[in-house]
Amino acid sequence: MNQWEWQLLEETTPVEKVLVSGADVKKGDIVRLRPRQGGDIFDLALAGQTAIIESIEQDYEGKIHLAVVLEDDPGKDLGLLRQPGHRFFFTPDEVEPVKPLQKILVAGIGNIFLGDDGFGVEVARRLAGGEFPEGVLVRDFGIRGYDLAYALLDGYDLTILVDAVPRGSPPGTLYVIEPEVSPDAPGPPGVALDAHAMNPVSVLRLAKSMGPVSGRILLVGCEPATLGGDEGHMGLCEAVEAAVDQAAVLVRKLIAEALNSENEMRTRKDE
């Protein structure tokens, strides 16, 4: 490359992102390598592997090249330091974006001092003792509404809220609800949460007033028999206590369905 070509490169505006298969990719994103047939034999040997985009380069003719580092390369740290031998170049049409692992949050909500309102907390405790795939987080938020609102801003693909939900059915009845809270929902979005009246709708409204809430949100609810009355009390009624294990199984089923759906989409794309 001569001095004129180097000068053209230096004057080129850095490329922050590039469109690949209908999606924008940028430095740090994961892609799967799909080198063209008839290309370099070494590139073809990398077909199907996943790689991290280290940088987006533009040559003096304006062509875009993606500098990538293989995810399973033991020396990928050297590649990220732009060392030769661990850094490879592909054009945008030789890669495809790889969606990262699904992030799923299971959030138990409730006040253990208000009878059956502690349902969500108990379900979260039961689930916390089990094993889940990578990317699945189970947390007991109790009455910490602000903590949950901030968590909803963390870019989860699926959030499963678990709470007591009075709807008039017999105590212990389970529901799966997909709540929708529009930006113009009634009630001031920035008001402080009342710990004794925290509910999924108020938390969602608060979170949406703080920033974008992404992904799907489901509510696994249970019909309570009592919410503690004026004096309050600890412990679930017999019917709600019996529904705790059923709810835990239901939450696991929803997680499995979400992960299986994602895996099926990836499999179809790879075929």
Residues 127 and 72: their CA atoms lie apart, in Å, by: 32
Q: Are residues 159 and 68 in the same domain?
A: no
Q: Are residues 155 and 215 in the same domain?
A: yes
Q: Are residues 149 and 251 in the same domain?
A: yes
Q: Are residues 137 and 92 in the same domain?
A: no
Q: Are residues 125 and 30 in the same domain?
A: no
Cβ of 224: how many Cβ atoms within 10 Å? Answer: 27
Per-residue pLDDT reduced to its tens digit, 68-91: 888 888 776 766 667 666 788 888
Range of the domain at 254: 104-265
Angle of the 238-270 helix axis to the 119-128 helix axis, nearest 10: 50
Q: Are residues 125 and 215 in the same domain?
A: yes
Asked whether residue 168 is domain-assigned, the answer is yes
CATH number of the CATH domain containing 182: 3.40.50.1450
Question: Which residue did the predictor score with more confidence, 29 or 13?
Answer: 29
Domain boundary among 52, 79, 97: 97
Give the chain's domain count. 2
- Of all helices (H) and strands (E), which one includes residue 58? strand 50-58
Q: Are residues 120 and 76 in the same domain?
A: no
Asked whether residue 270 is domain-assigned, the answer is no
Q: Are residues 137 and 257 in the same domain?
A: yes
Per-residue pLDDT reduced to its tens digit, 87-136: 888 889 999 888 766 889 999 999 999 999 999 999 999 999 888 988 89
Q: Are residues 148 and 51 in the same domain?
A: no
| Prediction pTM value | 0.63
